Amino acid sequence: MSMVRTGFFLLGTALLGLAQSYQLDSAHSSASFTVKHMMVTNVTGRFSNVRGTIVYDEKNLPKSNVEATIDVATVNTNEPKRDGHLRSPDFFDVEKFPTMTFKSTKVYQSGGVTKVDGNLTLHGVTKGVTLTLSNMSGEVKTPTGGYVRGATATTTISRRDFALTWNKTIEAGGVVVGDEIAITLDLEAGRKAL
């Protein structure tokens, strides 16, 4: 084997071990949430315009990281009046806090499951949360020659932790809006060119 071919082989082998950088595809990624309404049913909503970057090192997870931003004004619960209320100062106050962000602090395996610890900033408050990853795909080659991969991330947060405290009591006891919010992120990301 010539020196040049040997050099390319070694370079290619080294690159396979490096972390890959990905750009979130906002057209194929979304964030959804579920919250209890009137203590009897769940209301689900979605956010679009999910943007961000992922650095993923399959062989060395601690070298991985995630940064994401979501446009809060895109909230959609399929009820325009409720969506308007959610955008108001009673809830998300999108004029003052137009985005929510997540920045990872640690990526690791726990019990065979990939977890991502990080700081979620929402409504002007930053709190630590842990995302649990599932449905992680390997890379898939697109018809245009690029590479994508996907995953689902879930977590649960408290509205009170993020100063989202608007509520009303109901006659039978309890409140109109529950405190616990279940969040699901469905993410697709394309590999960045080296």
Q: What is the per-residue pLDDT across 34-83, written as a single tens digit (0 to 9) for each?
A: 875 434 467 888 999 999 999 999 889 999 999 999 999 999 988 899 88
Q: What is the mean pLDDT of residues 153-166?
A: 80
- Distance from C-alpha of 4 to C-alpha of 96, rounded to nearest angstrom: 57
Split at pLDDT 50, 70, 90, the class of 192 is confident
- Distance from C-alpha of 189 to C-alpha of 25, rounded to nearest angstrom: 5
Contact at 8 Å (CB) between 156 and 185? no
Residue entry with tokens 């009046």: 81
What is the model's pLDDT at position 98? 95
Mean pLDDT over the full length of the chain: 81
Number of domains in the chain: 1
Q: Does 9 reside within a domain?
A: no
Stated length of the chain: 194
Q: Does 112 reside within a domain?
A: yes
Q: What is the CATH number of the domain that holds 168?
A: 2.40.128.110
pTM of the predicted structure, to 2 decimals? 0.81
Q: What is the DSSP letter of 187?
A: E
Q: Give residue 61's domain range.
A: 19-191
